[in-house]
Amino acid sequence: MIPNEKFKFEVKPEGGSTRITLKGVIDEDTDFEALKKTGAPALVVNFKGVTSINSCGIRTWVNFVKELQSTPIQYEECPPLVVRQMNMVPSFVGHAKVSSAFVPYVCDNCETEKLVLVPAKDFGNGNPNIPETLKCESCGEGEMEIDGNPKQYFAFAK
């Protein structure tokens, strides 16, 4: 078997649950079999390091989550590309709870992008409580605005 260099994960037991940190590309070559064998009573999945997901990767992940139907799962630090999947494919989230997600802000002056981590308490009811604009630290002049509609961005949370 050829090792899959595009995708890596770390498994770390933490108190009553196990944290799985995903890194890289989730596609047709990604194998979640090892993740199923953790036997953890609860899982926390960190998506921060995921750089891309294609349709095969989504299908594999959806099946993985379905197989763990009886295990509580939390998603943390979901980057925009994962949030987009959660909005388009509700079964990508399934029974999992999203505990935090990154929101992309873009400067109207210099186009610098910044990801801001938002905890579930600020988006959990489908009515996001996040700043409309931020001052750009890069150019010091522009205003950073959310790239997209906040309600649509957090549609998965409803």
Report the interface residues with Zn ion, using CB under 5 A.
107, 109-110, 112, 136, 138-139, 142
**Residue nearer to Zn ion on the CB measure, 27 or 147:** 147
- Where on the phi/psi map is residue 128: left (φ > 0), alpha (ψ -120 to 50), or beta? beta
**Residue nearer to Zn ion on the CB measure, 73 or 144:** 144
Quote the least distance from Cβ 146 to Zn ion, whole Å: 15
**Residue nearer to Zn ion on the CB measure, 7 or 105:** 105
Radius of gyration of the chain (CA): 17
Quote the least distance from Cβ 138 to Zn ion, whole Å: 5
DSSP state for residue 88 in the 8-state scheme: H
Quote the least distance from Cβ 111 to Zn ion, whole Å: 7
Residues sharing a CB contact under 8 Å with residue 76, sequence separation 6 or more, in sequence order: 44, 45, 46, 47, 48, 98, 99, 100
